[in-house]
Amino acid sequence: MGDFILRYVVRGVLPKIILDDLDDPKKVSFATAYVKKSISMSPTYVRLPEKILRLSLFFSFFLFHILEIASLKTISRISCIRFASKIHPIIDDGIRLYLFLAMFALFEEDSFRKKRGFLPYSEILNSYTDTKV
């Protein structure tokens, strides 16, 4: 159940452009696993409030999704998430935590980086070894 909630929160935080570009659903699972492992390696004072934050974000994203459907897409989830992040700084910090960890996990993969025009890791490492100091 915890993985489902975390996957839903990660999918809710990631921008639609990136979600549409993810051709393999395993990439979202990879990002979710990375976020889960990163948080589990954190100290207790981060892990304990994170579980409460994860549940509150899950229910609020679910509520935003229902609101978006009920309003026939006149109210978007993105605007609701922006509104929620302005309510309290802890919610904003939590949203940014999940967003940054998921984006870091996705950009760690070379195929995702190449699609976006970034250099693969092998070329980055070669550029550092060719320089002389």
- Over the chain, what HEC string results? CHHHHHHHHHHHHCCHHHHHHCCCHHHHHHHHHHHHHHHHCCCHHHHHHHHHHHHHHHHHHHHHHHHHHHCCCCCCHHHHHHHHHHHCHHHHHHHHHHHHHHHHHHHCCHHHHHHCCCCCHHHHHHHHHHCCC
pLDDT at 108: 77
Quick one: pLDDT at residue 131? 56
Question: pTM higher than 0.85 for the full model?
Answer: no
pLDDT of the chain, 133 residues: tens digit per residue:
678 999 999 988 988 888 887 777 788 888 899 999 988 888 877 788 888 889 999 999 999 999 989 998 888 888 888 888 888 888 898 899 999 999 888 877 777 777 777 777 777 777 666 555 5
Return the pLDDT at 49.
86
pLDDT of residue 88: 86
